[in-house]
Amino acid sequence: MTRKPIMAGNWKMNLDHVEATGMVQKLAWTLADKEFDGSTVDCVVVPPFTDLRTVQTLIDGERMPITLAAQDVSEHDSGAYTGEVSAAMLAKLRVKYVVVGHSERRQFHAETDEVVNTKAAKVLAAGMTPIICVGEGLDIRKEGRHVEYTLNQVRGTLAGLTAEQVASLVIAYEPVWAIGTGEVATPEDAQEVCGAIRKEVADLYDDATAEALRIQYGGSVKSGNVAQIMNKPDVDGALVGGASLQPEEFAAIVLYQ
Ligand code: PEP
C-alpha cells in the first residue's frame, strides 16, 4: 500500500493572527511557485487556537492546498472547563487534524496516555483526525528502553479505538531529546521505532490497519535532513516545530521529493 506523506508544521505558541496571515500566504506562494497542488503530500499547518479562524478563512477563500490542524483539544465535550476548546468547536472551524499528547503537553500539563486516549477518541467522534504523539526522553533512550517505552504509549493512547479508526489516524514518533534541540535522530533511529510501532499495530489489530496507518517522525526536521528520513519505509511524514515558522523552509520540507 502507498501511504500519502503528511508534513505538519506545529507553530506552537508563536505567530499571532496577523503574523499568521503573512506566514500562510508566503507558504502558499512558495508552494504555488513549485506547482504543488497537494495531490502528492498532505501539507498541514498547526497554528495556535487564536489563529484558526483567520487561517481557515485564508485557506478556504484562496483554495490553498494546505490543511488546517489544531495543537490540542479538551477531553470534555462542553461545560465548565475554563480555557478549554472542544472537538466540536474545532470541527466547526473546519479543522481536519488535531495534535494530541505532544510532549510539551505531557511535560507541562501532566497529560497521561489515558488523557491522550480520551482526546483522540473525541477528535475521531467529531469527524477529525488525531495526530497522536509518542516518544521517549533522553534518560529512557540512554537506558536502551526507547522501543518498549514508546510502544507502551502506543498501546495506552490507542486503547478502545477500532481498527477502522486506527487505520485513519496519524501517529507522530517524536523522541523528546530531539525536539527543538537541533539533535536529530538518525534515519535508522527513526525507522527502528516507526517500524516497531507499525508492527505493534499489526499485532494489536491486523496487517491492513498497520499498513494504512501513517507514522510521522518529529524532532529537528529541516529541509536538509527530511529526504533521508522520508526514505525509510515506515516513515510517512514529519511533525515539524521550529523549521515550520520559516515559510520557505517549511515549503522545502513539504516539497522534499
Ligand atoms: C515538535 O515540537 O513537535 C518538534 C518536532 O519541534 P522541532 O522540529 O523544533 O524539533
Supply the DSSP symbol for 151: H
Residue for grid cell 479505538: 161
Choosing from 174, 192, 200, 249, the catalytic residue is 174
Residue 255 CA, ligand 1 centroid: distance in Å: 18
In a domain, 156, yes or no: yes
Place of cell 487556537: 49
Q: Within a domain: residue 10? A: yes
pLDDT of residue 98: 98
How many domains in the chain? 1
Torsion of CA 49, 242, 194, 170, to 10 degrees: 20
pLDDT at 202: 98
Q: Which atom of ligand 1 is nearest to the CA of 133?
A: 3
CA 197, CA 194: separation in Å to the nearest integer? 5
Q: Is residue 176 part of a domain?
A: yes
Is position 1 within any domain?
Answer: no
For the question of residue 174 being annotated catalytic, the response is: yes
Shortest-distance atom of ligand 1 to CA 179: 10
At 247 the pLDDT is: 97
Q: Check the annotation: does 11 bind a ligand.
A: yes
- Give per-residue pLDDT as tens, 167-179: 999 999 999 999 8
Average pLDDT estimate for 128-139: 97
Q: Is 39 annotated as a binding residue?
A: no
Residue 102 lies in a domain: yes
Structural domain of 158: 6-254
Mutating to test ligand 1, I would choose from 100, 105, 220 the residue with most ligand atoms within 8 A of its C-beta, which is 220
Q: How far apart are CA 85 and CA 91, in angstroms?
A: 11
If you measure from the C-alpha of residue 77 to the centroid of ligand 1, how many angstroms do you get, rounded to a whole number?
29
Cα(178) to ligand 1 centroid in Å equals 8
Distance CA 172, CA 168 (A): 13
CATH of the domain at 109: 3.20.20.70
Q: Is 76 a catalytic residue?
A: no
Q: Does residue 114 lie in a domain region?
A: yes
pLDDT digits (tens, 9 = 90+) for 232-254: 999 999 999 999 999 999 999 99
For residue 120, name the pLDDT band (cuts at 50, 70, 90): very high
